[in-house]
Amino acid sequence: MTKTTNYSRIIAGTMTWGDWGKQLSEQRIEQLIHHCLEQYISTFDHADIYGDYTNEEQFGKAFATSDINREDIQLISKCGIQFDVKSRSNNIKHYAYSKDYIIWSAERSLKALRTEYLDMFLLHRPSPLMHPSEIAEAIAKLKKEGKIRQFGVSNFNPSQIALIETVMPIEGNQLEFSLTSNNVMGDGSLDDCIINKRLAMSWSPLGSYFKEDSLKTKRIKKVLKSLCNKYNATEDQLLLSWVLKHPAEVCPVVGTATPDRLAMAMKALEIEMELQDWFLLLEASNGYEVA
């Protein structure tokens, strides 16, 4: 499998652009798309559920009036998570991966985003009831019709990927990976991305650092205080730099809707974090030195 490199190293996560966050107008979304491209952020991460299944349509309307060439951006979306909202008649949160549903969901995302294809289409979370052959039939049909260019997963471990790969190759995996949530370095998930040349993406790449005041975040804050001066960088830039240093060449999905923070995120690519500083931060996060 050949690793795809046309995605921007920093990916714009759109989850908080709509009803789950900033509630941006279509005009503001259009301006933000342009701003991302000015910062060389060309990849936009979506999921059908964002904004209670409304974000994609808002983004699509804004993109339609933007005069941006479709080939100049990459659109990623996900399907599978079901929960009870006005637009869905669900009694309980669950995962749906029948052939018909996968195809319907992809086509719904295409219509909402006002595009003829998705650059990558992901299964959002693994289901214990997923049938590899049924998934493969749906993805093969979508690829044959040119509706998706690549197929990936999100939050899958190596054995779950191996299950799907009994019938179909997987080209990317979007995982929770940050300094404060780094289990995927030890469970084989990032190793799997390197070995099989999958696109590795990290959701919530800043982790819990800005969300909680814990012993872990206090230890990290103490180390970052000196490193910010050393690298002339902000805390979030160094947290991203820590993720970017991993040899899986992880693409952080940055979930901010603030233009300045998106610009600052790109500057993290310029930081060459020294080896011992990387381990200082790992030790601070884990609370113990490596063996």
pLDDT of residue 30: 98
Task: Verify whether residue 50 is a known catalytic residue.
Answer: yes
pLDDT of residue 195: 98
pLDDT of residue 204: 98
- pLDDT category at 273 given cuts 50, 70, 90 is very high
Give the residues across from 94 on adjacent strands.
82
pLDDT tens profile 239-266: 999 999 999 999 999 999 999 999 999 9
User: And the tokens for 66?
Assistant: 């933007």
Domain boundaries, the chain: 11-211+247-271
Task: Please state, for a pLDDT cut of 70, what percent of the chain lies above it.
Answer: 98
* HSE-up (13 A, CA, CB side) for residue 175: 28
Q: What's the chain's average pLDDT? A: 96
pLDDT of residue 270: 97
pLDDT of residue 3: 65
pLDDT of residue 4: 64
Question: Structure pTM?
Answer: 0.96
pLDDT tens profile 168-206: 999 999 999 999 999 999 999 999 999 999 999 999 999
Which of 5, 3, 78, 7 has its CA nearest to residue 36? Answer: 7
Spatial distance between the Cα atoms of 15 and 34, rounded to a whole number of angstroms: 17
Q: Which of 7, 40, 50, 117 is catalytic?
A: 50
CATH class belonging to 11-211+247-271: alpha beta
pLDDT tens profile 86-96: 777 788 999 99
- Does the structure show a pLDDT above 80 at 15? yes
Q: Which residue has the tokens 């830039």?
A: 237
Which residues, 6+ apart, have CB-to-CB distance to 204 below 8 Å? 176, 178, 181, 253, 255
